[in-house]
Amino acid sequence: MVLLHGHPRTHTTWHRVAPLLVAAGHTVVCPDLRGYGRSTVVPTTPDHAPYSKRAMAGDVVALMRALGHDRFAAVGHDRGSYVALRTALDHPDAVVRLAVLDCIPIVEHLDRADARFATAWWHWFFFAQPEKPERAICADPDAWYGSLAPGRAAAMGEDNHADHLAAIRDPDTVFAMLEDYRAGLGIDRAAEEADRAAGRRVTCPTLVLWSGRDDLEDLHGDPRTIWAEWATDVRGGVRIDSGHHMAEEAPDELVAALVPFLAM
């Protein structure tokens, strides 16, 4: 299986989850998304296509094939869930299971974007602006992300925390992470609108997990209801007792939800 992280994390966010999945008998691949962590920062274009979820999904399939895995499960959290969704939609012969964590499709967020959503998720719209978010974040990345708050390193895990700091302190990586958001509001939204108009849906078994102490359910209700319009085989889901970064905060509960689903 491939585990796809979110913003502003790197592949090391899975450091408590991956060993448990390996112990359960799974082969686990944890890459940095394009432009995140130590992954390649590529030149962009006016439509931000190099950082689209379609481009990232192509990276995932190419990586897994290079490692000898033509078929695999895709597990994504936060921004990684959008990549996992796009991988399942664009490469249905490759993705045999899909698990989406703390996510609904981008277009579903935007269709529901009211004052509550804009207040809580203002960063989506700020990150989409040219140049200004880079200047704000790079002026003091540690403060922007609260990365040096007391107890943060211990909560994340020392090595994971160090990898995170290295990423957010690199201006090129910050630029690439923002390009992900710029693509999200433009080319990625358009791709999802086209999927919906064409009736294209995820056909592999799909699991929906969300954090009980984050705001996804507060804003949009039970996310499984939304995912039922995007996947033909939603096999339940569960609220995880954690904040947003469930892989770091509740690894045992997360793995307990994933393992039975992956064995179906």
Distance (Å, rounded) from C-alpha 234 to C-alpha 99? Answer: 10
Instruction: Name the active-site residue from 7, 26, 91, 244.
Output: 244
Instruction: Name the active-site residue from 32, 78, 102, 188.
Output: 78
Distance (Å, rounded) from C-alpha 114 to C-alpha 129? Answer: 19
- Catalytic status, residue 114: no
- Name the 3-class secondary structure at 61: helix
Distances (CA, A) of 20 to 16, 25, 101, 180, 235: 7, 9, 17, 29, 22
**Which residues have C-beta within 8 Å of that of residue 101, sequence separation ≥ 6?**
75, 76, 77, 78, 81, 209, 210, 240, 246, 247, 254
User: Checking phi first, is residue 66 left (phi over 0); if not, alpha (psi -120 to 50) or beta?
Assistant: alpha
- Catalytic status, residue 172: no
DSSP label of 243: -
218: buried, middle or exposed (CB in 10 Å: 19+, 13-18, 0-12)? exposed
Give the bridge partners for 72, in sequence order: 95
Active-site amino acid positions:
78, 244
